[in-house]
Amino acid sequence: MGKERGNYQHLGQVIELDLWFTERETDHLTVQWRITETLYRGRSRYQEIVVAESAEFGRMLFLDGIIQTSLRDEFIYHEMLVHVPLSIHPKPEKVLVIGGGDGGTVREVLKHPEVKRVHLVEIDEQVIEVCRKFLPELAAKFDDPRVEIHIADGVEYLKDRRQAYDVILIDSSDPLGPAEGLFTEAFYADASRALKKEGLLAIQSESPFYTPKLVQDIYRALSRHFPWVRLYTASVPTYSTAPWGFMLASRRYLESAGPRRSKPIPATRYYSPEIHKAAFVLPPFIKELLQTDEDGEGVSTA
């Protein structure tokens, strides 16, 4: 599409063009970004892929018209998805990332020197190739010798794994199309079996404010397969005008969701031990949302 903003002559007048990308957050709310240039637009066998330059957030990745990441605030999402579970786990040597074809999650995982192997399972190889070319800031660690890339369906990949991973990170798009199966109870059951005894699962779980029913369903489904489940939040501007949710689940009960290892993580811009602890402090409306039918108890923020 080339340049999307500029001037052209019409009947002797100079008319300025603006292109605004609009994303629907709910049936009654939309969010817009001004796009200055479209760098890539193509369709894989799974979805439409667009990389565009925006005026406010820099380069942005869209899949099927839904924002996935932007250079301005991607560090918030990736750091909180990765460093919370990896700072809790006593020895995260083997990590599985499902989704995350942009590379930001893999990049953050490799900041932990304990990690010996990262398996990235991405269903759409074209996403990886596009991000290598247009989002190298995120995709820079794909060629690290500790990384194995598997082009596969994450749902199918997990079915045959047993006690294989210390940490599993679900870096999925919204629960539509290729990612729909990553939000099911059957998938969470397979994830539990694929984790080692002290294993941790972390997933992006959408907005507790705008998609409360989905967040509630995720929490309840996880609770049927993990004895310890907690929700934590962070503010990711491109994703929502409200706090964004993450779910953390453990194969065993944990006394605290706080970081166990105090060794500094290099080059973080959002995550810190203090932010880690604060992310689990939930407002009452989210605590009420997470009350379960089975026991009637709210989530603990310990």
pLDDT at 13: 54
Delimit the domains of the chain by residue range.
2-69, 74-289
Give me the mean pLDDT over the 56-64 stretch.
Answer: 96
pLDDT at 177: 82
Give me the mean pLDDT over the 51-69 stretch.
Answer: 96
Handedness of CA 3, 25, 122, 180 (dihedral sign): negative
pLDDT at 212 over 60: yes
pLDDT at 295 over 60: no
Average model confidence (pLDDT) across the chain: 91
The residue among 138, 133, 128, 153 whose CA lies nearest residue 63 is: 128
pTM for the full model? 0.91
pLDDT at 178: 82
pLDDT at 302: 43
pLDDT at 200 over 80: yes
Strands (E), the chain: 2-3, 6-10, 13-17, 19-26, 29-43, 48-54, 58-63, 66-70, 94-99, 117-122, 147-151, 165-171, 195-204, 228-234, 244-250
Chain-centroid distance of CA 51 in Å reads 18
Q: Domain 74-289 belongs to what architecture?
A: 3-Layer(aba) Sandwich (3.40)
CA distance 155 to 50: 25
pLDDT tens for 86-113 read 999 999 999 999 999 999 999 999 999 9
Which one of 124, 171, 174, 190 is the catalytic residue? 171
Fold of 2-69: Spermidine Synthase; Chain: A, domain 2 (2.30.140)
List the single range of 140-144, 165-169, 171-175 with lowest mean pLDDT.
Answer: 171-175
64 catalytic, yes or no?
A: no
